[in-house]
Amino acid sequence: MTDLSQPVAAAESEAQPAGVAPPLWLLAELTYRCPLHCVFCYNPVNYTDHSSELDTAQWIDVLREARALGAAQLGFSGGEPLLRDDLEVLVSEARKLGFYTNLITSGIGLTDKRLDALKDAGLDHIQLSFQDSTQELNDFLSSTRTFELKKRVAEAIKAHGFPMVLNCVLHRYNLPHVDKIIDMALAMGAEYLELANTQYYGWAHTNRAQLMPTAEQLKEAEAVVERYRREIGERCRIFFVVPDYFERRPKRCMNGWGSVFLGIAPDGAALPCHTARSLPGLTFPNVRDISLREIWYESDAFNRFRGFDWMKEPCRSCDEKTIDLGGCRCQAYLLTQDPANADPVCDKSPHHESVIRVVRAAAAREANEQPVLFRNDANSRRLAATHDDDDPTQGTRK
């Protein structure tokens, strides 16, 4: 851990190993506990296997070390970060260190009292999630009665003068409501609306057959978004990203493995992306054991997919490899069982057909006939117990 007597500026001046830039964005996943049970949650499906949490002093060490490395953006996330009663202490410390801070929350537990305290602590920004614009679907997808409460929380966030991103994960169930979701964000005074099409990791991968939209749904939703963008101008910025499965080239995942993003899981495991825990054969270092500097620059986990040497064909000799870096390692593993393969979203991948099959199946299906699996402790324990190491298409992870 950091020598706390050492000023941040002095630590910043340490030489960087050649070729590896420092992290810019720290995501502090304070807890996997959450009052909601979203069917698309990106937390590991076996999160109950990782139930220990860093204490306040350990998190403060993480913030100091990350800032000394160069990180400037800090997200407090989870689970639900408001379940940690030291959140305000951590925000205050982050502010003193010079981070730009964002609270990523379901809103449950965000009372006026806590908003006051978070304002005093120096929190910069709040991202509030909704599951839909209707009470019925919002409450169904989270398996809680929270819609009305979230609406009151949105009002309170604005009343306390915070800039607000409203986030809504999109999928087959709510894509037809995109216009209503935008109307809701406008009525709430959100400065930004993130329409985050589901990416199929964690619980969303487990529920993929039920959540996968049709190409027509996406096309219609995109047209609605474009119409609103023209009409509302700068009043609210709307982000809409098409899900990978409908593309022919993969995303430049996390802007590159070990490139800008540093995630710390509740138990202190350091991760190069939110879902990296799903990958086999990698031991993720823990901030309880070694310094963040060693983790970022020297650990096998953070170096494994940096650069191009790890690539297999067709990526290795591909003239587009500097653009997308071969795509997402977690998606490559989930769909091909080998994280060093090309992301099969790419139509040059010999496994691209596995993506096409999923999209075709969604188009052929008339209704969401299969029950969804909610993110809760009982399901997590059950999936963890029945995990088959040889079948990455199962909901469970290593």
Residues near ligand SF4 (CB under 6 A): 34, 36-38, 41, 43, 78-80, 106, 129, 249-250, 314-315, 318, 320-321, 324, 326-327, 342-343, 346, 348, 375
Known binding-site residue numbers for [4Fe-4S] cluster: 34, 38, 41
Least spacing, CB of residue 208 vs ligand SF4, in Å = 16
The answer to whether 319 touches 309, Cβ cutoff 8 Å, is no
Q: What is the DSSP string of 127-159?
A: EEEES-SSHHHHHHHHTSS-HHHHHHHHHHHHH
Least spacing, CB of residue 50 vs ligand SF4, in Å = 14
Longest dimension (CA), the chain: 63
Looking at the chain, how many residues does it have? 398
Q: Which is nearer to ligand SF4, 65 or 343 (CB)?
A: 343
Least spacing, CB of residue 39 vs ligand SF4, in Å = 9
Calpha distance 249→80 (Å, rounded): 33
Least spacing, CB of residue 163 vs ligand SF4, in Å = 20
Q: Which is nearer to ligand SF4, 36 or 221 (CB)?
A: 36
Q: Which is nearer to ligand SF4, 229 or 348 (CB)?
A: 348
Calpha distance 354→245 (Å, rounded): 10
Q: Which is nearer to ligand SF4, 170 or 292 (CB)?
A: 170
Q: Which is nearer to ligand SF4, 99 or 130 (CB)?
A: 130
Residue among 151, 206, 126, 142 at smallest CA distance from 174: 142
Least spacing, CB of residue 348 vs ligand SF4, in Å = 4
Q: Which is nearer to ligand SF4, 249 or 387 (CB)?
A: 249
Calpha distance 276→315 (Å, rounded): 20
b/e burial code for range 274-311 (CB count within 10 A of at least 16 → b): bbbbbbeebebbebeeebbbebbbebebbbbbbeeebb
Beta partners for residue 130, in sequence order: 168
Least spacing, CB of residue 322 vs ligand SF4, in Å = 8
Residue among 207, 218, 199 at smallest CA distance from 343: 199
The answer to whether 234 touches 193, Cβ cutoff 8 Å, is no
